[in-house]
Structure 1
Amino acid sequence: MAPEFGESGEVKSYKLKKRRKKQSKKDIKTRTVHSNLLYSCAKGDENPNRPYAHNNIKTTKYTLLSFLPKNLFEQFHRFANVYFVFIALLNFVPIVNAFQPELALAPVVFILSVTALKDLWEDYRRHRSDKEINHMDCLVYCRYVLSVI
């Protein structure tokens, strides 16, 4: 429906209808949350919280398989890296080469590899920190003992 304009040009009324799909009671799914304290002795399939996600902390950016592609993708977002790789590759064209093409690749490869090693070290440190936090002891209240264990 088009808006209606008043004499001074302001919008008089604008009607919008929101269309919502009406859900029947059969379509609405609910989740029952169970306390882990009730099922501290439950093994495997007996624990109703088993199919849900764990609460481990993971702040690492890379995996072993994704390190090289992700890291190169991040490095080539920097304009300087793209520019120097372009100049080094342009040096392989016989008409425009200024000096030995292999010599032009050396500094670019050096910078990319040093940056990759730095990112790998930082990600390894994040992994160690995550592992330390995830294996930290915590206090848990036990209903049966009525205290923190």
Structure 2
Amino acid sequence: MGSLGQREELQDEDKNSAFTWEVQANNRAYNSQLKEKVFLCWRRRKHKTNIICTAQYNFFSFLPLTLYEQFHHLSNLYFLLIIILQGIPDISTLPWFSLFTPMICLLFIRATRELVDDIGRHKSDRAVNDRPCQILMGKSFTWKKWKDLCVGDVICLHKDSIVPADTLLLASTEPSSLCYVETVDIDGESNLKFGQAPTITHQELTTVRNMASFQGTVTCEAPNSRLHHFVGCLEWNDKKYSLDIGNLLLRGCRIRNTDTCYGLVIYAGMNGGKIHLKRTKLDLMMNKLVVVVSCQQVPLPQEHRGGAGPGLPHDISAWVKRVRCVSK
């Protein structure tokens, strides 16, 4: 089993390392026309925008998604079933609202907490998307917002600025086009790391005019969540140059000890996959306990079964009594 798991991991790495991602510098029209197959004839844009969204809900999806998330807890489903049984007059001993009201209050409190947290996420996303950056538009750099950034754009970064997207370093003001970065917001390491531009771009892209006429094409691996691995190839003037992780500046790192550097956006937006809802071990254990308790309560007592078939009101009454006994 261990060897099988290692083989599958190697196959996934080989699949991710294939050069299926193509970016052409200073050519938004070409990059925007690239499509990828999703399902049957449904195709979508291959390159995403640089807009990030960590919020889980919007105005229309809040109520259904909140109910969906709340009833992922089997305990809520369990008490909902009890409330439905209490609504049957033949077996109910308490008013239905005596159980329904506390449950509604609990769901309301949880939904309010989720709403407050999600409003904070929307504000944080808006602040990040509205951060300024310099993008090469025509023959000069223009101040734009992060959300206006696209794959293939050439950007200019200054000291203490944050890298807005995964970027191929083209040149810098340091010797040999070195660029020192701080990655504490990515991996928690406070020591400075450095990246270096390819030799060919360091030698050729020395002016803004040269960068505006730069038409190189980068082919590399598709976006993935591996922070310390990158393989690619730069094709320019009918020649190919290899690229590695040392040439890449990751989104979120901060420029340090470097006055100015220039880069080509390779991946835009969030490059880590879908955000999954986290579950605590206590939630998982409670779900299992609810399933076990419910399975023990489902079988009806044999003394209430008749020859022609069970008497439904008596069987349900006995089942409700068993639920109360187990609850006590």
Structure 1 CA distance for aligned equivalents of residues 22 and 67 of structure 2: 44
Find runs of 4+ consecutive structure 1 residues off by over 6 angstroms.
none
Q: State the one-letter code of the partner of 2:94.
A: F
The structure with the greater share of residues assigned to strand is 2
2:24 to 15, 27, 34: 34
Cα distance, 1:128 vs. partner? 0.8
Structure 1 CA distance for aligned equivalents of residues 69 and 22 of structure 2: 42
If asked which structure has higher relative contact order (CA below 8 Å, sep 6+), I would say 2
Structure 2 CA distance for aligned equivalents of residues 131 and 144 of structure 1: 33
Aligned to 1:117: 112
Q: State the one-letter code of the partner of 1:96.
A: I
Q: For each residue in 1:58-105, what CA deviation from the matched residue of structure 2 results, as whole angstroms up to 9, or x when unmatched?
A: 111112222111111111111221122111121110112121112221
Aligned to 2:124: 129
Structure 2 CA distance for aligned equivalents of residues 103 and 143 of structure 1: 73
Cα distance, 1:31 vs. partner? 7.6
What is the TM-score when the length of structure 1 is the normalising length?
0.62
1:33 aligns to what SS in structure 2?
strand
1:143 to 208, 233, 239: 208
Aligned to 2:72: 77
Aligned to 1:59: 54
Q: State the one-letter code of the partner of 1:143.
A: V
Aligned to 2:82: 87
Report the RMSD for the aligned CA atoms in angstroms.
Answer: 2.7
Relative to structure 1, the CA distance from residue 72 to residue 31 in structure 2 (aligned partners, 3 Å threshold; closer, same or farther) is closer
Structure 2 CA distance for aligned equivalents of residues 93 and 112 of structure 1: 23
Structure 1 CA distance for aligned equivalents of residues 107 and 30 of structure 2: 49
Q: State the one-letter code of the partner of 1:132.
A: A
- Identity rate of aligned residues, in percent? 29
Structure 2 CA distance for aligned equivalents of residues 48 and 61 of structure 1: 32
Q: Structure 2: any 5+ residue segments left out of the alignment?
A: 1-19, 34-46, 135-154, 157-206, 212-259, 263-328
Structure 2 CA distance for aligned equivalents of residues 62 and 73 of structure 1: 12
Cα distance, 1:148 vs. partner? 6.1
1:100 to 86, 95, 102: 95
Q: State the one-letter code of the partner of 2:77.
A: V
Structure 2 CA distance for aligned equivalents of residues 92 and 33 of structure 1: 62
2:132 aligns to what SS in structure 1?
coil
Structure 2 CA distance for aligned equivalents of residues 132 and 144 of structure 1: 32
The count of aligned residue pairs is: 112
Structure 1 CA distance for aligned equivalents of residues 21 and 76 of structure 2: 50
**More divergent stretch after superposition (50-59 vs 65-74):** 50-59
1:138 aligns to what SS in structure 2?
strand
Q: State the one-letter code of the partner of 1:108.
A: M
